[in-house]
Chains A and B, each alone.
Chain A
């Protein structure tokens, strides 16, 4: 039986590429079109797995590849975002305070919430950013994996193994023996 294709390397490559794009200012705004960069990561990862696999890739495996790619996208996106924030020289807490000042014009309570977050420190904000992105990007990546499987897998999947016959009811005479 043929060994299934590795799914981690394609997911890591796609996650790194699209995570870099997602974390970059202005380019990352493409995610505003229905999370297109994250969905793209799932599609790209599934494309690479389908190309490398000797056997047809199942729907569930496509979703799994996309899910892992989405997870890597979230990690890389957070790291790149933090790098860009640090490069601006304001620090993570400074960036949050500035964003809260802008949000305060719409909702004054946002400034208070931001003050609480800043008080908890940069590691807390970083963890929160990562958790939110993981929760959003992993399912969208899985969706991309399903779309990628639908588009690129042209081989027919083998039929599902037939289910075993139901057990004999108690008291039945059992199989007839033919002479």
Chain B
């Protein structure tokens, strides 16, 4: 078993892969209204049903595209857009050879601080200080999404190595438990 250690991989593959996946994810959320517009109601409804598992999709709290609400609310849209921006920033930093300092995630306080604006915005909406806060929700959500990218990328870079080590440990345990126990040599009376 490898000792627990901070990620020092600093590769370009993970930010690129996560950026690509998040781009497809955001495109799927935005495609719903456009598909409705082109008459592909079935596909649009299926995409909407998929996102309904992870978002409330309240039309009053969502951005509109061509007069139709997106499949994600404005806060979720902001979070994913921020995550995409974070992955791209990490990728650019690593391509420029300046990703060394970003190989390990920053302090936990950065992550906790990134949640504060969203919490404050939610309080401001509840108390009536903000009435139409779609953009504010998206912007504050994007801060959390962007910060999360700097934790998720190094963690996911380590993930395959950790999963392989866990699989090896399980296989060893399984083979050990399946091996028949050796019977003790009976002492033959001479």
Contacts and interface: CB of A to CB of B under 8 A. Distances in A.
Given A63-B158, A63-B159, A142-B156, A157 B1 contact: no
B116 interface: no
A50 B3 CA distance: 15
A24 interface: no
Interface string A64-99: 100100000000000000000000000000000000
Which among B4, B45, B55, B111 has the greatest number of chain A C-beta atoms within 10 A? B4
Interface string A143-179: 1011101110000011111000000000000000000
Nearest to A77: B53
A22 to B, nearest CB: 9
Interface residues on A, range: 35 or more
Interface residues of B, number: 40
Which among A7, A106, A110 has the greatest number of chain B C-beta atoms within 10 A? A110
A2 B181 CA distance: 27
Given A136-B53, A150-B108, A142 B159 contact: yes
Interface stretch (B84-92, B94-102, B147-155): B147-155
B4 A58 contact: yes
B76 interface: yes
Given A34-B76, A106-B45, A150-B151, A64 B54 contact: no
Contact of B5 (A33, A58, A113, A136): A58
Interface string B104-115: 010010011000
A151 B114 CA distance: 13
B138 interface: no
A140 interface: yes
Contacts of B156: 60, 63, 142
5 contacts: A32-B55, A58-B5, A147-B111, A150-B105, A158-B4
Interface of B: 1, 3-8, 41-42, 44-46, 49-50, 52-57, 75-76, 79, 105, 108, 111-112, 148, 151-152, 154-159, 161-163, 166
**Shortest Cβ-Cβ A-B pairs, 10 listed:** A60-B158, A109-B42, A107-B41, A59-B155, A32-B56, A107-B45, A60-B162, A58-B4, A63-B155, A35-B54
Interface of A: 1, 3-4, 7, 29, 31-35, 55-64, 67, 103, 106-110, 112-113, 132-133, 136, 140, 142-143, 145-147, 149-151, 157-161
